[in-house]
Amino acid sequence: MQILADIEKLERKKDVKGLIKALKDGDSYTRWRAAIALKNIGDCSALPHLIELLSDNNDYVRLRAVEAIGALNGECAMNFLITALNDRNEHVRRAAIEELVKLGKKPIPELLNLLKRGNQQIRKAAAVVLDRIGWEPEDLEEEIYYHIAKEEWEVILRFGRKALNILTNFLKEKSDGLRLKVAEILGEIGEAEAIPYLKKLLNDQNKFIRLKAAESLVKLTGNATHLLQLLEEERDDQIKMKAIELIGESGDFSAIDKLKGFLRDRNSLIRRVTAYSLEKLGWFPKTEEEMLHYLVAKEEWDKVCRFGKAHEVLVQLLDDEDESIRCKVVEALGRLRDPRCVEMLIRKLSDESRFVRWRVAEALGIIRDKRALKHLIAALNDECEFVRWKAAEALGELGDPEAIEPLMKAMEDESEYVRWAAAEALWKIRVG
């Protein structure tokens, strides 16, 4: 309250020097109260000091500074108010808009310049001011820049080819959102002149812009060449999946041969999207190997197991990065009962995933190969009770007397599931 009283006292005395000094006070409340007081006094000598406040770290101080600058300096304040259109705070930007509107049509030349050269935020604010003062475009160029500033893309589309040269100017814009939208609009307009510009965007630092550029190029060229190029160079799996999906929708049959390679991608989601995109292009596997990779991609494990070479494809997926895929692969190998898979399954008893490990133990019990004996005995000490449980069950299936002593120890396991499995396994071994 004392600060307020002091500021009011200075205002009553019209002590401009005292109020200017208060503008530099360490307390933000004092600074913005002083700005209001100077606005009320109306002494233009305070203007340079108020202008300094436009870089103040307090949003409310900058807001009051904008109001004071507009009130004190009128037309001469125009450039400072335009600078404030780029303020980080929305309320400060709105205050600058209000002060510019008060100037009527005088700021129009500067505002039109901002539509062409300002950043996205300033362009939008300039368009708002132009709206408020009743401005109307005098030519097509002004109209296009105005609608771009307002992000009225449906209107831009109606201009078609006439907007092309102006739109391509914005492909150098720092705003990722604007470059992304321009890349999309260029594809919608459908003019071949946009192709060189879109090709440059294939190297954009933003992955979504690269994808949108490739998508627009499909619309302009009628083929998936640039999407395939993007796939070969792209490292981001999300973008690769979307690109594959778009290739499927493109109807470009010439893309099939290259697309088939992604049925073997390390990422299970990419494999799945590839399978469905190939279906959209009318492709069907011609060989057993192609069929197996296609079915694996679609995760149709029962169908995979019907093929004689299933184990050759499945073992390649034992180290898949997707835990759920490793689980399904192990289950499928168990159903195959193929002794050629035993050594590779034994290796997966040390998989980082407990879900994979207990499925491996279960699969080894189904296959009943003696090579797994000592490894299943070791698995009785696994940290996961489900792995110990399935290991005990598998040892019962193997029926080897060497497992009796380890299973006797497992009868003292803290897990009831393990104890029951060990008891049942011992019974199976003893009765033969």
Please give the pLDDT value at position 104.
Answer: 87
pLDDT above 60 (res 2) = no
Task: Tell me: pLDDT of 116 over 90.
Answer: no
Q: What is the DSSP string of 331-389?
A: HHHHHHT-GGGHHHHHHGGG-S-HHHHHHHHHHHHHHT-GGGHHHHHHHTT-SSHHHHH
What is the average pLDDT score of the chain?
A: 91
Determine the pLDDT at residue 184. 94
Beta strands in 247-364 (DSSP E): none
Single out the residue of 337, 317, 338 nearest to residue 328, CA to CA.
317
DSSP state, residue 107: T
Question: What's the burial of 307, exposed, middle or buried (CB within 10 Å: 0-12/13-18/19+)?
Answer: middle
Mean pLDDT of 397-411: 95
pLDDT(432) > 80: no
pLDDT of residue 4: 56
Q: For 251-275, how does the pLDDT look when each residue is reduced to its tens digit (9 = 90+)?
A: 999 999 999 999 999 999 999 999 9
Mean pLDDT, rounded, for 179-192: 92
* pLDDT one-digit tens code per residue, 387-403: 999 999 999 999 999 99
Structure-model confidence comparison of residues 363 and 102, the more confident one = 363
pLDDT reported for residue 74:
66
317-328 pLDDT per residue, tens: 999 999 999 999
pLDDT reported for residue 181: 94
The proportion of the chain whose per-residue pLDDT surpasses 70, expressed as a percent, equals 98
Residue % of the chain over a pLDDT of 90 = 68
Residue 5, pLDDT > 70, answer no
pLDDT of 1 over the 50 cut:
no
Q: What confidence tens digit (pLDDT) does each residue in 54-73 have?
A: 999 999 999 999 999 888 87
